[in-house]
Chain A
Amino acid sequence: GAVVSQHPSRVICKSGTSVKIECRSLDFQATTMFWYRQFPKQSLMLMATSNEGSKATYEQGVEKDKFLINHASLTLSTLTVTSAHPEDSSFYICSATEYTEAFFGQGTRLTVV
């Protein structure tokens, strides 16, 4: 089956630095990728929808200048958390769709210290 690879699986960074998370579709072309974050015991929250070659569509309340999304190719989307703060510590997960099926990355645990 289709595979979505998300990297890194875990990252610890200092407050004020930026962190980039990659999401790759390994054996299919994903025209649409989604980025989610999850707080403990909470449901996934959609952050943005990323379409190849165009600007991402951000959900209400998500700062686009803080969470930079780039979808430069049909197999790669990146999420950059800029000037990270401890409140950005969370679990981030990406999803890529092939036709109407969705596949999920393994997730990235971000801890900002």
Chain B
Amino acid sequence: AQSVTQLDSHVSVSEGTPVLLRCNYSSSYSPSLFWYVQHPNKGLQLLLKYTSAATLVKGINGFEAEFKKSETSFHLTKPSAHMSDAAEYFCVVSEGGVNRDDKIIFGKGTRLHILP
């Protein structure tokens, strides 16, 4: 069965330090994986996505994620946090195919706090 686990509900880092938001998934098929960010009162914004191409995916605003099949992980990282990165982040798994309905599973979200 599909599942997505965001291992931390809250993460706090100091401005200028690295960010690591963890995501583990389980999937019966070759999944597509996404990271989204949501700022207060705004809709989801796509940060990056993995769809079976390069395993290291670069996204917007300096974020990147690495798809590790052996570890079933898709952790999100950023070398240096900025105050504007404070938001909620969602890891999402999507399965689908020509003859198969898409399924989409959301992680429960990780709230990122940036300390001055």
Instruction: List residues of A whose CB falls within 8 A of some B CB.
Output: 1, 32, 34, 36, 38, 40-41, 43-44, 46, 49, 91, 93, 95, 97, 100-102, 104, 107, 109
Contact = CB atoms under 8 A, between A and B. Distances in A.
A38 B32 contact: no
A91 B92 CA distance: 14
Contacts of A49: 43
Contacts of B62: none
Interface residues of B, number: 24
A43 B59 CA distance: 13
B38 A40 contact: no
B38 A44 contact: no
A43 B48 CA distance: 9
Interface of B: 32, 34, 36, 38, 40-41, 43-44, 46, 49, 51, 88, 90, 92, 94, 96-97, 101-102, 104, 106, 108-109, 111
Contacts of A100: 40, 88, 111
A43 B106 CA distance: 12
Contact of B88 (A34, A91, A93, A101): A101
Contact of B94 (A1, A41, A101): A41
B70 to A, nearest CB: 23
A41 B51 contact: yes
Contacts of B46: 43-44
